[in-house]
């Protein structure tokens, strides 16, 4: 993702894929580190979505859906998606996603740099400068493929450990590019509604007690659904249903 930011600084283009053999400073949500020894599928996508900025976090679930389907097709495994970004197999973490946004600055028209500016050129320039910047998005993906479980943190697993020794990191990355491209187009054209419907069979934790850390608040309740914006709906112990857009969700044992 650091390399993606470096490339964005040169040209804010969409559609670049960056693949790593391993990462020395892999990171996850909330500032956590991500163990990235050789044997994993580590990649980052640079996107320039044509959706409102407020909808960008939904891409974590779009990517989760693509990952779940490619693992089903390539590894014959059926992971569950733990909102908002983890993939679990038998309760152990197999992989996850991370989203970062980078604001792109509108570039003025070359005509606007001419010494003699017509009123039309000045108007165009003012429009470009005042236009809200369109975000660039980096989505990082990490999947443990052939990693020795002994080299992973407790509570983690790999495709190899789950019996999918036939599946390579190349299979995962190539398949993911194709599947994510399909769902990304659906999301771009139709929004989150069709993603939400396709996600439901893959979502884990519905009907189970959860603990929410939202800022300084510690709340408990039962996860019930995703709302139309991709937020996690929780029925709190008070009986109130509340949708969580950010925060830490922990399954209670």
The residues pairing with 47 across neighbouring beta strands, listed in sequence order, are 137
Distances (CA, A) of 167 to 21, 42, 80, 84, 143: 16, 15, 19, 25, 12
More confident residue, 189 or 211: 189
Q: What is the CATH number of the domain that holds 45?
A: 3.30.930.10
The residues pairing with 209 across neighbouring beta strands, listed in sequence order, are 222
Q: What is the CATH number of the domain that holds 243?
A: 2.30.30.100
Same domain, 176 and 61: yes
- The mean of the pLDDT values for the chain is 83
Q: Is residue 252 helix, strand or coil?
A: coil
Sign of CA dihedral 216, 218, 221, 226: positive
Please list, in sequence order, all residues whose beta carbon lies within 8 angstroms of the beta carbon of residue 173, skipping any fewer than 6 positions away. 17, 19, 41, 43
Domain containing 73 equals 2-203
Same domain, 34 and 86: yes
> What pLDDT does 56 receive?
93
Mean pLDDT of 223-228: 94
> What pLDDT does 128 receive?
41
pLDDT-derived band at 12 (thresholds 50, 70, 90) equals low
Domain count, the chain: 2
Check pLDDT > 80 for residue 203: yes
Same domain, 24 and 133: yes
Check pLDDT > 70 for residue 31: no
Gap between the terminal Cα atoms of the chain: 34
Distances (CA, A) of 213 to 128, 175, 222: 40, 35, 14
Distances (CA, A) of 125 to 11, 85, 111, 114, 117: 20, 40, 9, 11, 10
Reference 144, options 35, 12, 40; nearest CA is 40
Same domain, 80 and 183: yes
Distances (CA, A) of 87 to 18, 71, 96, 112, 235: 21, 10, 6, 49, 23
> What pLDDT does 134 receive?
64
Pair 149, 157: CB distance under 8 Å: yes
Same domain, 177 and 218: no
User: Model-level pTM?
Assistant: 0.82
> What pLDDT does 184 receive?
97
Angle between helices 169-190 and 59-75 (to 10 degrees): 140
The domain boundary, picked from 168, 188, 203, lies at 203
Mean pLDDT of 205-234: 88
Mind listing the pLDDT tens digit for each residue in 61-105?
999 999 999 999 999 999 999 998 899 999 999 999 999 988 654
Distances (CA, A) of 133 to 47, 161, 184: 14, 44, 21
Residue 109: both structure tokens together: 């028209």
Pair 40, 31: CB distance under 8 Å: no
Same domain, 239 and 166: no
Check pLDDT > 80 for residue 247: no
């Amino acid at each position: 993702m650091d390399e993606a930011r470096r490339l964005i600084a040169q040209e804010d283009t969409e559609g670049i894929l960056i693949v790593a053999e391993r990462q020395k400073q892999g990171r996850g949500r909330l500032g956590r580190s991500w163990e990235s020894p050789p044997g994993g599928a580590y990649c980052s996508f640079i996107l320039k979505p044509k959706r409102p900025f407020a909808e960008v976090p939904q891409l974590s679930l779009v990517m989760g859906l693509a990952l779940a389907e490619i693992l089903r097709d390539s590894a014959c495994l059926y992971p569950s998606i733990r909102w908002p970004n983890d993939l679990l197999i038998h309760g152990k973490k197999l992989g996850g996603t991370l989203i970062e946004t980078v604001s792109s600055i509108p570039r003025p028209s070359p005509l606007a740099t001419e010494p003699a500016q017509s009123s039309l050129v000045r108007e165009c320039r003012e429009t470009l400068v005042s236009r809200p910047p369109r975000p660039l998005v980096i989505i990082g993906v990490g999947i443990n493929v052939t990693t020795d479980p002994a080299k992973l943190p407790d509570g983690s697993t790999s495709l190899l450990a789950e019996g999918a020794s036939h599946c390579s990191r190349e299979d995962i990355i190539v398949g993911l590019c194709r599947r994510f491209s399909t769902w990304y187009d659906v999301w771009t054209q139709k929004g989150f509604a069709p993603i939400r419907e396709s996600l439901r069979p893959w979502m884990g934790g519905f009907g189970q007690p959860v603990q929410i850390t939202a800022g300084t608040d510690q709340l408990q309740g039962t996860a019930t659904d995703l709302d139309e914006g991709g937020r996690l709906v929780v029925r709190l112990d008070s009986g109130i249903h509340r949708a969580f857009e950010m925060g830490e969700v922990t399954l209670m044992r």
